[in-house]
């Protein structure tokens, strides 16, 4: 079917399952242990319901915003950096880059991208901006070289991912055993799964002192990705970062880590002041326009999509990634109108309420 046949992101996921290789599907879809956090990400959005306002003249609405230090974005949604786009499409991350240019969306590029940074920057349109996601290397010298290189290449910010000192135990990925996988540098995954085979360089000793170290190397805005409690959001702020990304890696790391929306709610309840002082983003389980607007009601500046982008890319390449963002754009527009909101700034906590049960 053509991309337009997909009515929602679930349609794209269903199709991806049938067209991706066994290894790619297992790696993309996998999550930690029994996948409670994977499901809880989605469930945590289900516990917020709207309090819509009516009779508000909603023909004219604006969904545009700026994310990551003033970069224009057509919707408050960005590509959360995810590894190995070439497992789904031969042009991998470059297809995502091209789609982002056309949809006016910001791409986070994974440290474990399967295309080289030169290839990705070569695919970029004029004026298009990208963010680089960093994993701290066991060799700080190597990390220094990477930071200097991405700064020089024109990336507009760095996301340091901190929820993966070691990879979580992802059983779908391990069982698929990388049978049809050719890694960028290490060849066959040898029964460990894709995640294990690409993450060996990542330093489990990455720690808070590394924040100052990175800030000593580059003036690029720095975001910490993988904050999972209020205390660490406070610590991140004290360390002078430009923002945090509330994330549990799409449930791929610690099982029973809280749902992303639960952490955002805690932060909003306990430290609303912090959310004025630094940008807060969120990813994990966002599949609907309503999810996006709920997060914005609680003060998130933008939300990231992980798997849906890889699935769209795996089904159709660039047009599939574009379809993902078109669906989100249409759903956000409809939801804003039905909520009686015409500007993103008008999304306030009063527009939602927490309900202590899962929707039927
Ligand atoms: C990821 N994610 C991720 N995050 C990161 O910081 N660096 C990375 O290399 C990767 N790689 C990666 C691969 C795959 C296959 C997936 C699915 C995810 C996590 C990603 O950025 C994001 O946090 C989650 O995917 C968000 O959850 P959803 O949207 O997939 O539910």
- The pLDDT score that the predictor gives to residue 178 is 55
323-334 b/e with 16+ CB inside 10 Å = b? bbbbbbbebbbe
Which of the four pLDDT bands, split at 50, 70 and 90, describes residue 181?
low
Active site includes 78? no
> What value, to the nearest 5°, has the Cα angle with vertex 77 and ends 246 and 43?
55
Ligand 1 atom closest to 112 (CA): 9
- Ligand 1 atom closest to the Cα of residue 307 is 30
Q: What's the whole-model pTM score? A: 0.96
**Distance, CA of 48 to CA of 43 (rounded, Å):** 10
- Ligand 1 contacts CB of residue 161 (under 6 A): yes
Asked whether the ipTM of the predicted complex exceeds the cut of 0.85, the reply is: yes
DSSP state of 324: H
pLDDT of residue 121: 98
Each residue's pLDDT tens digit, 270-303: 999 999 999 999 999 999 999 999 999 999 999 9
Instruction: HSE, CB side, 13 Å, CA atoms: give it for residue 180.
Output: 11
Q: How far is the CA of 107 from the centre of ligand 1 (A)?
A: 13
Mean pLDDT, residues 83-97: 98
Report the separation in Å between the CA atom of 82 and the middle of ligand 1, taken as the mean of its atom positions: 4
| Residue 67: closest CA among 77, 81, 57 | 77
Q: How far, in Å, are 138, 245, 260, 328, 344 from residue 8 at the CA level?
A: 41, 25, 21, 8, 22
Quick one: what percent of the chain has pLDDT higher than 70? 96
Instruction: Write the residue with the smallest CA distance to atom 29 of ligand 1.
Output: 306
Kindly give the residue spans of alpha helices, DSSP state H, lying in 177-277.
Answer: 194-198, 209-217, 230-238, 260-270, 272-277
Mean pLDDT confidence for 233-243 = 98
Instruction: Indicate which atom in ligand 1 lies nearest the CA of residue 305.
Output: 29
Q: Are 130 and 118 in contact (CB under 8 A)?
A: no
Q: What percentage of the chain exceeds 90 in pLDDT?
A: 94
Q: What is the pLDDT of residue 186?
A: 45
User: What pLDDT, on the 0 to 100 scale, is given for residue 245?
Assistant: 98
Q: Is the CB of 249 under 6 A from ligand 1?
A: yes
Cβ proximity of 25 and 16 under 8 Å: yes
**Chain CA centroid to CA 203, Å:** 21
pLDDT higher than threshold 60 for residue 337:
yes
> What would the pLDDT profile of 9-60 be if each residue is shown by its tens digit?
999 999 999 999 999 999 999 999 999 999 999 999 999 999 999 999 999 9
pLDDT score of 187: 46
pLDDT at 182: 54
User: What is the arithmetic mean of pLDDT over 108-127?
Assistant: 98
Distance (Å) from CA 172 to ligand 1 centroid: 15
User: Confidence class of residue 192 from pLDDT cuts 50, 70 and 90?
Assistant: confident
- C-beta of 225 in contact with ligand 1 (< 6 A): yes
């Amino acid at each position: 079917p053509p991309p337009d046949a997909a009515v929602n992101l679930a349609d794209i996921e269903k199709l991806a399952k049938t067209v991706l290789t066994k290894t790619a599907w297992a790696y993309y879809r996998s999550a930690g242990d029994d996948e409670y956090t994977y499901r809880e990400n989605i469930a945590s959005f289900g516990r917020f319901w709207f309090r819509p306002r009516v009779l508000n003249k909603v023909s004219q609405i604006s969904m545009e915003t700026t994310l990551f230090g003033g970069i224009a974005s057509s919707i408050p949604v960005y590509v959360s950096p995810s590894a190995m786009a070439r497992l789904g499409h031969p042009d991998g991350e470059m297809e995502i880059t091209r789609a982002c240019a056309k949809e006016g969306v910001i791409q986070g590029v994974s440290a474990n991208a399967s295309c080289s940074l030169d290839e990705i920057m070569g695919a970029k349109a004029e004026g298009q901006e990208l963010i680089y996601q960093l994993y701290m290397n066991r060799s700080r010298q190597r990390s220094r070289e990477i930071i200097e290189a991405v700064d020089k290449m024109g990336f507009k910010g760095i996301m340091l991912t901190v929820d993966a000192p070691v990879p979580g135990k992802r059983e779908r990925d391990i069982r698929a055993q990388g049978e049809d996988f050719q890694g960028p540098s290490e060849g066959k995954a040898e029964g460990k799964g894709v995640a294990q085979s690409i993450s060996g360089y990542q330093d489990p000793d990455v720690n808070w002192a590394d924040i100052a170290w990175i800030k000593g190397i580059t003036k690029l805005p720095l975001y910490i990705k993988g904050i999972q409690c209020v205390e660490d959001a406070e610590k991140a702020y004290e360390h002078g970062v430009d923002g945090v990304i509330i994330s549990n890696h799409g449930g791929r790391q610690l099982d029973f880590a809280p749902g992303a929306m639960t952490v955002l709610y805690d932060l909003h309840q306990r430290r609303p002041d912090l959310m004025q002082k630094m940008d807060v983003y969120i990813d994990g389980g966002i599949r609907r326009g309503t999810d996006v607007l709920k997060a914005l009601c609680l003060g998130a500046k933008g939300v990231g999509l992980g798997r849906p982008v890889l699935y769209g890319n795996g089904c159709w390449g660039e047009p599939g990634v574009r379809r993902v963002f078109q669906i989100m754009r249409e759903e956000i527009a409809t939801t804003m109108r039905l909520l009686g909101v015409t500007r993103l700034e008008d999304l306030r906590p009063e527009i939602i309420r927490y309900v202590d049960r899962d929707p039927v």
